[in-house]
């Protein structure tokens, strides 16, 4: 990644719908150069896709929470099966398999706390492998929208 590649990635994270011509103009490079570099970034796996960002409130999902879940027995098959179960739930936004005291960190978005409670009681706690689950309601969520590469020898 050189400075131009980093600038392309930054600009596409800011607005992935801009045309190649507009992107090239912003970066002060030729449109053909810009297109070649974007294609190379996709081929190298730096750019993995393009998404629309949505407002969860407008989708009737204003309440977000993080669930920490412990399961047993701890083996690959149980982890994979439970991960598939979680990702099948419409309330689930992200699933992380983590190390430490918990096994999963799950980000959910629901219409209200009653739906959060129902999700826990009627879905999560009914699973035999679940031995513990805690929930934390998210008051505010701030995401870093633009991810920059770190220097190779960053302390």
Q: What is the pLDDT along the chain (155 residues), one digit of tens a residue?
A: 899 999 999 999 999 999 999 999 999 999 999 999 999 999 999 999 998 889 999 999 999 999 999 999 999 999 999 999 999 999 999 999 999 999 999 999 999 999 999 999 999 999 999 999 999 999 999 988 888 888 777 66
Cα angle for residues 74, 96, 102 (degrees, 5° grid) = 45
The C-alpha atoms of residue 72 and residue 103 are separated, in whole angstroms, by: 9
The C-alpha atoms of residue 150 and residue 135 are separated, in whole angstroms, by: 33
**Would you list the domain boundaries of the chain?**
3-43, 56-138
Measured in degrees and rounded to the nearest 5, phi and psi for residue 108 equal -125, 160
Annotation: CATH topology of 3-43 = Arc Repressor Mutant, subunit A (1.10.10)
Which of 25-57 are b and which e, b meaning 16 or more Cβ less than 10 Å from the residue's Cβ? eebebeeeebeebbeebeeeeebeeeeeeeeee
The C-alpha atoms of residue 96 and residue 104 are separated, in whole angstroms, by: 6
Q: Identify the pLDDT of residue 27.
A: 97
Give 56-138's CATH code, choosing from 3.40.50.970, 3.30.70.920, 3.90.1710.10, 3.40.50.300. Answer: 3.30.70.920
SS3 of 32, please?
helix
Sort 139 into a burial class: Cβ within 10 Å, 0-12 / 13-18 / 19+.
exposed
Please tell me the pTM assigned to this model: 0.85
């Amino acid at each position: 990644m050189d400075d131009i590649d980093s600038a392309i990635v930054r600009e596409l994270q800011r607005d992935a719908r801009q045309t190649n011509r507009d992107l090239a103009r912003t970066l002060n490079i030729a449109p053909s150069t810009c297109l070649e570099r974007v294609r190379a970034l996709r081929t190298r796996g730096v750019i993995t896709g393009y998404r629309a960002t949505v407002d969860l409130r407008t989708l009737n999902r204003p309440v977000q929470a993080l669930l920490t879940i412990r399961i047993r027995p701890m083996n690959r098959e149980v982890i994979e099966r439970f991960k598939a179960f979680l990702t099948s739930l419409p309330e689930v936004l992200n699933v992380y398999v983590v190390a430490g005291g918990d096994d999963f960190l799950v980000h959910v978005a629901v219409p209200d706390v009653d739906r959060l409670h129902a999700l826990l009681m009627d879905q999560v706690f009914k699973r035999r492998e679940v031995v513990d689950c805690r929930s934390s309601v998210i008051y505010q969520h701030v995401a870093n929208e633009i991810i920059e590469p770190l220097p190779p020898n960053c302390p």
